[in-house]
Amino acid sequence: MQALLFDNAESQLIKSCYRPILTVTENRKGVLDVDTVKGCAEGMRKYPNGGCYGECYAYRGAIRYGIDFSVSVSRKLLPSTAHHIFSIIKRHRAAWYRIGVAGDPCHDWENTVLVCEAMRYTGKIQVIVTKHWLTLSDDHIARLRTANAVFNTSASGLDTDEEIEYRVSQILRLKRAGVTSACRVVTCRFGTSPWAKACDDKQRYLMSITPVIDTPLRVSSSNEHVLNGDIVVGVRAC
């Protein structure tokens, strides 16, 4: 692994919240995480019992290290580290990096835009993963288009009808503005109950929105919907 600007304090110390300084990490799959925000205040406010679907892996990771995931912390690009972060991204073997791993960048769109603008000339694709808890302004969209950022909007058949309608509207809004905008569907294999069939119908609708990314839910065997058969584990969604 190359020498990255890791925030080692986050992985080694018990803390109440993340540090407000932009860092770069590389996961086991070789994906760079350049999170402009850590934590997810709006998601945890709406789904306090384990985050979205009760299965938020970022929430579980935060809990493991004693971090309050319900606090969204903006991660600022410092003059003293900006060149180093730029160099790490530019030299990395992958053609892209991700913004939105352990937090939703929507909680500070202005900071997210500033980082994308600063990193534009690395030549890497900036992939912003979000649920749009907070809505982008037209100005932010225009600036992100200029910065060559792309969007993966997360949605799921487990979402409410209102959440799906809103997130799809944001996908289409970005497309109309000339921004590459994909529907990132968190998928499950559903059972046969009325609730499961309704979720499956919503999932099929989301999967029809192109471009689409199929992202299977990391669901635990103790999940109530697994226990009652509404979600079938061990089988990929159709």
* The pLDDT value given to residue 14: 43
Residue-wise pLDDT for 173-205, tens only, equals 999 999 999 999 999 999 999 999 999 999 999
Query: What's the CA gap between 70 and 17, in Å, rounded?
Result: 9
Q: What is the pLDDT of residue 154?
A: 98
* CB-based contact 6:58 (threshold 8 Å): no
Beta-bridge mates of residue 130? 153
Strands annotated E in the chain: 25-26, 32-33, 37-38, 73-74, 96-99, 125-130, 149-156, 181-187, 189-190, 212-216, 231-232
What pLDDT, on a 0 to 100 scale, did the predictor assign at position 155? 98
Sketch the domain layout of the chain as residue ranges.
Answer: 19-37+76-232
Name the CATH code of domain 19-37+76-232 (choices 3.20.20.70, 3.40.640.10, 2.40.160.20, 3.30.565.10). 3.20.20.70
Q: What's the DSSP call for residue 210?
A: S
CA dihedral 114, 119, 120, 121 (to 10 degrees): 140
Least Cα distance to 224 among 21, 52, 54 occurs for 54
| Cβ density class 185-207: b for 16+ within 10 Å, e for less | bbbbbbbeeeebeebbebbeebb
Please report which confidence band the pLDDT of residue 8 belongs to, taking 50, 70 and 90 as the band edges.
Answer: very low
**10 vs 104, which has greater pLDDT?**
104
Any idea which of 13-22, 37-46, 95-104, 164-173 has the lowest mean pLDDT? 13-22
Q: What is the pLDDT of residue 205?
A: 98
pLDDT at 16 over 60: yes
